[in-house]
Amino acid sequence: MKSTITAFNQITQAEDYFAFFGLPYDPQFLNVNRLHILQKFSRLMKEKGVDAPDMDDPATFNQYRELLQEAYSLFQSSSPQAQKLFKVFNQKPSNVVLMSDIEVE
């Protein structure tokens, strides 16, 4: 796969991102964590502030490659619940009383 922004923008599958950047991955791990990995990767890219990175530039390509690897590695040592990337993990249930909310006198 040619390393261009056009090719990068056409990727839709998590496995294709890893192939694009030439990164190894565990298919079973990726299958379970794909949405979280891709969401974290997206947030890391936004933090870099580049809307259309020049994937033909080796330094930029390697930087984004490292960001994908960072997102993947994060979920090897943490859980999706701990990372709270999606709204559902940040919402407090309205019909549940947490033990931490109960005061002891």
Contact (CB, 8 A) for 37 and 72: yes
How far CA 77 is from CA of 3, 36, 50, 82, 83, in Å, comes to: 29, 13, 28, 10, 11
Residue 47: the pLDDT is 85
pLDDT score recorded for residue 72: 94
Report how far residue 44's alpha carbon sits from residue 51's, in angstroms, rounded to the nearest whole number: 12
Q: How far apart are CA 40 and CA 100, in angstroms?
A: 29
SS3 52: coil
pLDDT in tens, 31-84: 988 988 998 898 888 888 766 678 888 888 898 999 999 999 988 876 665 555
Q: Give residue 1's pLDDT.
A: 46
